Amino acid sequence: MTDNGLNSITLDMPVQFLKGVGPARAQSFEKLEVKTASDLLEHYPRDWFFAPPPVKIEQLKPNHTVTLAGFVESTDWQAWRRPPYFEAYVNDDTGLCRIIWFNGRYLQDKITPGVKIVVWGKVALYKHQLQLSNPKFMIVEDDELIPDNFSGPVYPATANLSTGQIKKIVHESLDGLTELMPEFYDAAFLKKSNLIERKKAFHWIHKPLDQQQIDKAKRRLKYDELFLMQTALAIRRYKVRHFEKAQPLTRTDQIDSRIRKRFPFLLTEDQDKVIDEISVDLAKDIPMNRLLQGDVGSGKTVVALYAALVAVANKKQVAIMAPTEILAAQHFTNIERYLKNSSVNRCLITGGLNGEKRKEVLEPIKTGQTNIIVGTVALLQQDIQFADLALVIIDEQHKFGVHQRASLRKDTTPHCLVMTATPIPRTLAMTVFGDLDISIIRHSPPGRGEVQTRYIHPKDLPKAYEFIRERLKAKKQAFFVYPRIVDSENGDVKAAIAEYKNLSKNIFPEFSIGLLHGQMSGSDKQKIMDEFRKGKIHCLVSTVLIEVGIDIPNATIMVIEEADMFGLAQLHQLRGRIARSTSKSYCLLVAQTENETANSRLEIMERSNDGFEIAEHDLKLRGPGELLSSRQHGLPDMKIANIIDDMDLLKMARKDAFELVEKDPMLTSANHKNIRAELIRKFAGSLTLVDVA
C-alpha cells in the first residue's frame, strides 16, 4: 500500500487494505457483508443528517433548529399520554434538555440512560421549558468526538464498528474508488432516462451536499439494482428459450373436443383463456415455464388435467406433483373421476409403495405404458425412470418458489406448469418471477355459494356458538382452526388440542368433534378426514393443515381463532375451504388485538373476497417480506431499491433490461461489457449465468 492508498486502490481489493481498515475492522465489516472495496461503496447509508454544528444546551433559543450532543440521563415511556410519548433528558456540561418522541415506544431499548446521543431538531418552548420534539438522533460511542459539522451519512453499523468510523473510512477512499466505477450506459441514455452518472451517484450517496443530491443518487443506484436483477432474469429466460429444447405438444380440434368431453361441465371463460395460453406454449419446442394462479376452487386442476391430456394425446408422459401425500392422493382421486373408462394409464406413487409393488408400478413408467404419474414433489428425485416425460405439473397450493427445473434433463426439457393458489400481486410477479409467464384464473366457476366473513371479538364467541349450533343442526359442518397444536408456555394463545376438548365437552357435546394436526400419523389423518368427508364428524378442529386442499362441500362454517396470527394469504386460503358448496358459507375471524395493522388486515378480509386485492393490501401493509427474500428467486437481496416504493423505476428497468437482452442476449458487444462484468460479479454464484462469462 502506498501512503495515500489511492494509486493502488481497486474495486475488488479486500476492504482490509483500505485506509483506516485492518484485519480487525475487516472482520467487523464481514459481519456487514462488506468484503471488498466495492462492497463498501454498496454499503449504503440508511439515513443522512444535514445538521448545523452542535450547540450547548445553555445556548438554546426557541424556534432554532439545532444539533445537541450529550449523555442520556433518564428516560421514560409515557404510555398513558394521548398521544403516548417517549421522554429522555439529555445532559451536556452546560445543562439538561427534555426531548420527546411521540409514539416512541420502540426507542426504549435504543435510547437508554448513559448512552451518548446526538440529536437534531427544532427547539420549542413548552410550559416554560425548552425542549425538542421528534428530533432525528444518532447514538455514538462514548469516546467518539462529535465533529464540528455533524452532517453526513448514517450507516448500518455493528457493535465494533460505529457509523462514524464507517463514514470516516468511506470518505477516506471515496474519491479514489468512485473514479474507478465503470459506467453502464451512454450519455444519451442517461439524459433520456433522467439518471446521473454512476460514479457521481456513488459519490453523492456517501457524501451529499443536500437532499437533492441524495435523491438523484438514490434514483440512479436503485435503477441499477433493479436493472441488473431484471437483466439477470431476462438472460435466464433467454437461455431457457434458446438453449433448451422441449417436445412440441400439439392440440388439434379433435384432441380438444375429446378432452372437453371428459368434464361434466362447460369450462369457464377464464379456464378457456388460460388453456389457450398454455396450448400455445406446449406447441413450441421451447420449454414452457408458466405459473398458473387462481384461488382455491377456481378450477386450476381442471386446466392442468387438460394440459396433461394434450401431452398424453401426443403420446408423451406427464408427472403431476403435489406438496403432500394427502394432496397427491386427492389429485389422483379427482383425475380418476374425470378419466373413468378412459384408456389413459395413470398411477399414484406414495411413500408407502415399496418392494415388489413399487417395481410393478415403476416398470410401465419406464416402458412408457403409464401416461400420467401422480405423486409428491419427491417424484423427480427418486429412482423413477420415465420413458418420455414431456410435461411436469406442480401444484404448490399455498407455497410457491422458483423451481429447480426438472433435473432429468436428457436431450429435452419437459414443459413446466406450476399451479399456486397464492395470489401473487403483479408487483411481485414482475420481479421474483420475472422469467416466468403467468396465467391467471380470476373468476371461479358459477354456482358457488358466497362466503360471508365477520371479524369478531372473543367475547362474542358464545353468540357465534349458538349461530353455529343452528347450522350444525341443519346438517352443515364446521372447521375450527388454531395457530398452534398446543398452548404456548404462558397459555395466552388458544391451541387446537385444548379447544378440541373445550368444544367437545363444553360447547357442542351433542355433536361429534374431530381433531386433526400435523403431528398425527398419515393414516390417522386420513381416517379423520374420511370421517369428516362422510359427515360422521360434524366439527373438525385443526391447525392450518386443512389449508392444503380438502374438498368438502358440506362444510360451510369456519371459525379461525387468533386470526391475527395468520397471514392474509393464509386466511384467504383457509376461507377458500368453505367456498365449495352452493349454499352460503360463514367465516368467523376471532381476534383481540389493538395493533392497527392487524385490525386493518382483518377488516380487509371482511370486505373483500378477491385474493389479488387482498394480496396487494397485504403487500402495502406489511411489505414484501418473505415473498421477496432471496430464497424465493435465487437472486441476492436488494440493497437500496424497494419494489413497492420504486415501482415506476422497476417498470422502466424491466423494459430496458428485456430490450437489451433481446438485442444482445449474452451482452457480448463492447458497449455492454461493464454491465456484463457487473452481472457476473453479482450473480455468477446464484444464477446459472456462468456461461455468460
Q: Give me the residues that bind Mg ion (CB under 5 A), please.
A: 301
624 binds ligand ADP (CB under 6 A): no
Among 45, 164, 208, 294, which residue sits at the site for ligand ADP (rule: CB under 6 A)? 294
CB of 336 to Mg ion, least distance (A): 15
Q: Rounded distance, CA 84 to CA 240, Å?
A: 56
CB of 302 to ligand ADP, least distance (A): 4
Q: Could you write out the three-class secondary structure of 60-127?
A: CCCCCEEEEEEEEEEEEEECCCCCCEEEEEEEECCEEEEEEEECHHHHCCCCCCCCEEEEEEEEEEEC
Exposed/middle/buried for 63, CB within 10 Å: 0-12, 13-18, 19+? Answer: exposed
577 binds ligand ADP (CB under 6 A): no
Cβ proximity of 302 and 270 under 8 Å: no
317 binds ligand ADP (CB under 6 A): no
Beta-bridge mates of residue 418: 291, 394
574 binds ligand ADP (CB under 6 A): no
Alpha helices in 207-299 (DSSP H): 211-243, 253-260, 269-282
DSSP letter at 693 equals: -
CB of 334 to ligand ADP, least distance (A): 6
Which grid cell sits at 506?
363444553
Residue 395 has phi, psi (to 5 degrees) of -100, 110
CB of 648 to ligand ADP, least distance (A): 33
Q: Is the dihedral of CA 452, 454, 459, 460 positive or negative?
A: negative
CB of 276 to ligand ADP, least distance (A): 15
| Locus of grid cell 358440506 | 554
Nearer to Mg ion, 123 or 275 (CB): 275
CB of 297 to Mg ion, least distance (A): 7
Among 151, 163, 165, 268, which residue sits at the site for ligand ADP (rule: CB under 6 A)? 268
Residue nearest to Mg ion (CB): 301
CB of 553 to ligand ADP, least distance (A): 8
Question: By three-state DSSP, how is residue 205 classified?
Answer: helix
DSSP letter at 331 equals: H
301 binds ligand ADP (CB under 6 A): yes
Determine if residue 239 is left, alpha or beta; phi over 0 gives left, psi from -120 to 50 gives alpha, anything else beta. Answer: alpha
DSSP letter at 36 equals: B
279 binds ligand ADP (CB under 6 A): no
296 binds ligand ADP (CB under 6 A): yes
265 binds ligand ADP (CB under 6 A): yes
Interface segment toward ligand ADP; rule CB under 6 A; list 41-49, 81-89, 289-297, 558-566? 289-297
Interface segment toward ligand ADP; rule CB under 6 A; list 226-234, 267-275, 347-355, 504-512? 267-275
The site partner of 268 among ligand ADP, Mg ion, none (C-beta below 5 to 8 Å per kind) is: ligand ADP
CB of 480 to ligand ADP, least distance (A): 22
Nearer to ligand ADP, 307 or 692 (CB): 307
| Locus of grid cell 406442480 | 394
420 binds ligand ADP (CB under 6 A): no
Which grid cell sits at 679?
452481472
Which residues are CB-neighbours of 179 under 8 A, at least 6 positions away? 199
CB of 617 to ligand ADP, least distance (A): 22
Among 21, 232, 302, 571, which residue sits at the site for ligand ADP (rule: CB under 6 A)? 302
The site partner of 370 among Mg ion, ligand ADP, none (C-beta below 5 to 8 Å per kind) is: none
Q: How many residues bind ligand ADP (CB under 6 A)?
A: 14
Interface segment toward ligand ADP; rule CB under 6 A; list 198-206, 220-228, 259-267, 309-317? 259-267
* Longest Cα separation, the chain: 93
271 binds ligand ADP (CB under 6 A): yes
Nearer to ligand ADP, 165 or 271 (CB): 271
Kind and range of the H or E run holding 346: strand 346-348
Nearer to ligand ADP, 189 or 265 (CB): 265
How far apart, in Å, are the Cα atoms of 10 and each of 40, 282, 673? Answer: 12, 49, 18
219 binds ligand ADP (CB under 6 A): no
310 binds ligand ADP (CB under 6 A): no
Interaction mask 428-467, ligand ADP, x per CB under 6 A: -----------------x----------------------
The site partner of 271 among Mg ion, ligand ADP, none (C-beta below 5 to 8 Å per kind) is: ligand ADP
Nearer to ligand ADP, 296 or 537 (CB): 296
Among 104, 121, 299, 611, which residue sits at the site for ligand ADP (rule: CB under 6 A)? 299
Cβ proximity of 614 and 572 under 8 Å: yes
CB of 375 to Mg ion, least distance (A): 16
Interface segment toward ligand ADP; rule CB under 6 A; list 43-51, 251-259, 295-303, 631-639? 295-303
- The amino acid that residue 609 corresponds to is N
Pairing of strands 47-49, 152-154: antiparallel
Beta-bridge mates of residue 539: 478, 513
Q: Rounded distance, CA 604 to CA 139, Å?
A: 39
Interface segment toward ligand ADP; rule CB under 6 A; list 298-306, 347-355, 422-430, 651-659? 298-306
Which residues are CB-neighbours of 7 under 8 A, at least 6 positions away? none
Closest by CA to 205, choosing from 53, 47, 51, 20, is 47
CB of 690 to ligand ADP, least distance (A): 38
CB of 286 to ligand ADP, least distance (A): 26
Nearer to ligand ADP, 15 or 296 (CB): 296
Q: Rounded distance, CA 424 to CA 48, Å?
A: 34
300 binds ligand ADP (CB under 6 A): yes
CB of 209 to ligand ADP, least distance (A): 56
298 binds ligand ADP (CB under 6 A): yes
Beta-bridge mates of residue 136: 120
Which grid cell sits at 22?
485492518
Beta-bridge mates of residue 605: none
Residue-wise DSSP of 416-476:
EEEEE-SPPPHHHHHHHTTTSEEEEE-SPPSSPPPEEEEEE-GGGHHHHHHHHHHHHHTT-
Nearer to ligand ADP, 268 or 317 (CB): 268
Exposed/middle/buried for 34, CB within 10 Å: 0-12, 13-18, 19+? Answer: buried
Question: By three-state DSSP, how is residue 408 classified?
Answer: coil
Which grid cell sits at 383?
429412482
CB of 301 to Mg ion, least distance (A): 4
Which grid cell sits at 670?
463492447
476 binds ligand ADP (CB under 6 A): no
The site partner of 445 among ligand ADP, Mg ion, none (C-beta below 5 to 8 Å per kind) is: ligand ADP
How far apart, in Å, are the Cα atoms of 13 and each of 9, 35, 38, 559, 679? Answer: 7, 8, 8, 59, 18
The site partner of 152 among ligand ADP, Mg ion, none (C-beta below 5 to 8 Å per kind) is: none
Binding site for ligand ADP (CB under 6 A): 265-268, 271, 294, 296-302, 445
